[in-house]
């Protein structure tokens, strides 16, 4: 049963205490509804656990999971830092008046404009990803006569997804510098020659939707293997270790994630062990959760329309959204749970598959879900759509993008307006 599964006296699904059928009627569908208290709870679970261990930390919300001005304002209120990977994400952060010193810029192909924006607004840190960017940043800093803190992104040779992690000597990844083949050290040496760039520490990110701590622990060990050498050779001691994001959440019963404090505890314990061995000061720990902050905090509401029953094969029930607001089932075979929001207490009487309305057979949201008997106009609620739903949405078939509503203290507030058809054609120019 999903943690956002709450009902009112009418047997309707509620979110943050509000009736989802009321929200669907008020704002239309498809509609993303976020429970802001849940976002705050998730953020605090990370922040409080670091505090509990007395460890200086930055919990940087990975805004790729869901970026909007309102979302970044909540992140700011919760004292999070921010991971941005593009000028668009950085621009959104600036519009949300996010404290610049807590913004970290990522990207495997940062261009001059992005780096210039980072330097101009004096953001907290650039995560260096490749040799090309080092020279670009050096020149920009010279032009602006200023300096920049950076982390060096390394690939530790560990790739983790859910329960699996793969150890490799040379990681086949487009991100960062390889530790095993010496490129990380080469980049480090180059950065040390540039006196306007300060290497605050190392960064690694081993994957996403990870349920176990082993991968993170292996990554920490690999970082410290390198750091042991750099301490000897360069007398270098990092101020910061950034272990990236990837903390898994529950979408369906198949997912059994750890409590958020479990990940933090594992990281702190292993890092403590390593610094004691190397007789180093305990570094600041930075992490970059995206999905774990917002994933389980939202539902998407759809209106049910057509049905197609294929005897002996399958029943299809179509909704008024689909891969345009949630590409994850089509792209990753991601699984979701759903209920009929206006019939939550009705026992399931059938199994049906939820189809989107895009002109594409692969546009399916959920395969074979138990449902009560449904009619056109019923509201379907899909759980755990808070991460990588809206942020990966598209205009395929020229569907306007959905609206986003925040609910907190029994109040609903629209935070991203539904697009109009004028929005859909706004960049089109006539050829007549
Ligand atoms: N930090 C870095 C450097 C990352 O590349 C990512 C995610 C994160 C943090 C945040 O990871 P999270 O905590 O959200 O797992 N679109 C995919 C996920 C792609 C994640 C890419 N990088 C999905 O929908 O599952």
The radius of gyration computed from the CA coordinates of the chain, to the nearest angstrom, equals: 23
358 is known as an active-site residue? no
pLDDT at res. 163: 76
pLDDT at res. 4: 84
pLDDT at residue 122 is higher than 90: yes
Q: Ligand 1: which of 107, 129, 208, 291 to mutate, most ligand atoms within 8 Å of CB? A: 208
Q: Taken in order 110, 114, 120, 125, is the CA torsion positive or negative?
A: negative
pLDDT at residue 202 is higher than 80: yes
Q: Is residue 58 a contact partner of residue 308, using CB atoms and an 8 Å limit?
A: no
Ligand 1 binding pocket includes 33 (Cβ within 6 Å)? no
Ligand 1 binding pocket includes 328 (Cβ within 6 Å)? yes
Average pLDDT in the chain: 96
Tell whether pTM > 0.95.
Answer: yes
- 246 a known binding residue? yes
Average pLDDT over residues 338-348: 96
Ligand 1 binding pocket includes 205 (Cβ within 6 Å)? yes
- 263 a known binding residue? no
**Predicted confidence (pLDDT) per residue in 59-79, tens digit:** 999 999 999 999 999 999 999
Q: For residue 33, list its beta bridge partners.
A: 299, 405
Average pLDDT over residues 409-423: 98
pLDDT at res. 323: 98
Topology at the third CATH level for domain 36-293:
TIM Barrel (3.20.20)
pLDDT at res. 170: 67
One of 2.40.160.20, 1.10.10.60, 2.40.37.10, 3.20.20.80 is the CATH number of 6-35+295-425, namely 2.40.37.10
List the chain domain ranges. 6-35+295-425, 36-293
Ligand 1, residue 392: give the atom nearest the CA. 16
Q: Is residue 150 a contact partner of residue 125, using CB atoms and an 8 Å limit?
A: yes
Express as a percent the part of the chain with pLDDT over 70: 100
Q: How far apart are the first and last CA of the chain?
A: 56
Q: In what order do the strands lie in the sheet with 6-7?
A: 6-7, 13-15, 18-19
Ligand 1, residue 210: give the atom nearest the CA. 15
pLDDT at residue 205 is higher than 70: yes
Give the contacts of 41 (CB within 8 A, at least 6 positions apart): none
Average pLDDT over residues 130-145: 98
pLDDT at residue 169 is higher than 90: no
Average pLDDT over residues 83-93: 98
Q: DSSP string spanning 297-346? A: GEEEEEEEEEEEEETTTEEEEEES-STTT--HHHHH-----EEETT-TTS
Ligand 1, residue 207: give the atom nearest the CA. 15
Separation of alpha carbons 22 and 8, rounded Å? 12
Q: DSSP string spanning 22-91? A: HHHHHH-SSEEEEEHHHHHHHHHHHHHHHHHTT--EEEEEEGGGS--HHHHHHHHHTT-EEEE-SHHHHH
pLDDT band at 3 (very low <50, low <70, confident <90, very high): confident
Question: 7 C-alpha vs ligand 1 centroid, how far in Å?
Answer: 32
**Predicted confidence (pLDDT) per residue in 9-59, tens digit:** 999 999 999 999 999 999 999 999 999 999 999 999 999 999 999 999 999
Average pLDDT over residues 198-202: 98
């Amino acid at each position: 049963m999903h943690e956002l599964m709450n009902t009112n006296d009418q047997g309707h699904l509620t979110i943050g205490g509000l009736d989802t059928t009321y929200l669907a009627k008020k704002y239309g569908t498809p509609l993303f509804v976020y429970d802001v208290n849940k976002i705050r709870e998730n953020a605090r679970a990370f922040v409080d656990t670091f505090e509990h261990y007395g460890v200086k930390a930055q919990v940087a919300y990975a805004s790729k999971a869901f970026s909007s001005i309102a979302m970044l304002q909540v992140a700011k209120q919760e004292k999070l830092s921010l991971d941005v990977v593009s000028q668009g994400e950085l621009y959104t952060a600036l519009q949300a008046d996010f404290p610049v010193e807590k913004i970290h810029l990522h990207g495997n192909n940062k261009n001059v404009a992005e780096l210039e924006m980072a330097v101009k607004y004096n953001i907290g840190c650039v995560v260096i990803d490749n040799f090309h960017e080092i020279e670009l940043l050096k020149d920009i800093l010279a032009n602006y006569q200023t300096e920049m803190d950076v982390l060096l992104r390394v690939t530790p040779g560990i790739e983790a997804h859910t329960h699996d992690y793969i150890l490799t000597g040379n990681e086949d990844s487009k991100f960062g510098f390889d530790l095993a083949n010496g490129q990380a050290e080469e980049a480090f040496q180059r950065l040390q020659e540039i006196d306007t760039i300060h290497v605050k520490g190392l960064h690694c990110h081993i994957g996403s939707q990870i349920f176990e701590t082993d991968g993170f622990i292996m990554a920490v060990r690999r970082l410290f293997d390198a750091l042991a050498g750099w301490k000897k050779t360069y007398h270098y001691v990092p101020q910061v270790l950034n272990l990236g994001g990837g903390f898994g959440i529950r979408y369906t019963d198949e997912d059994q994630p750890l409590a958020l404090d479990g990940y933090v505890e594992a990281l702190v314990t292993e890092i403590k062990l390593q610094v004691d061995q190397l007789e180093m000061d305990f570094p600041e720990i930075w992490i970059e959760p995206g999905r774990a902050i917002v994933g389980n905090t939202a539902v998407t509401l759809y209106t049910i329309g057509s049905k197609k029953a294929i005897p002996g094969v399958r029943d299809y029930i179509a909704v008024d959204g689909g891969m345009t607001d949630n590409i994850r089932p089509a792209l990753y075979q991601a699984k979701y749970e759903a209920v009929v929001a206006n019939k939550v207490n009705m026992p399931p009487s059938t199994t049906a598959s939820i189809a989107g309305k895009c002109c594409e057979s692969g546009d399916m949201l959920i395969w074979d879900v138990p449902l009560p008997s449904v009619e056109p106009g019923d509201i379907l609620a899909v759980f755990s759509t808070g991460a990588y739903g809206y942020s990966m949405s598209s205009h395929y078939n020229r569907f306007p993008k959905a609206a986003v509503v925040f609910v907190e203290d029994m109040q609903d507030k629209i935070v991203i307006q539904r697009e109009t058809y004028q929005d859909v054609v706004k960049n089109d120019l006539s050829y007549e």
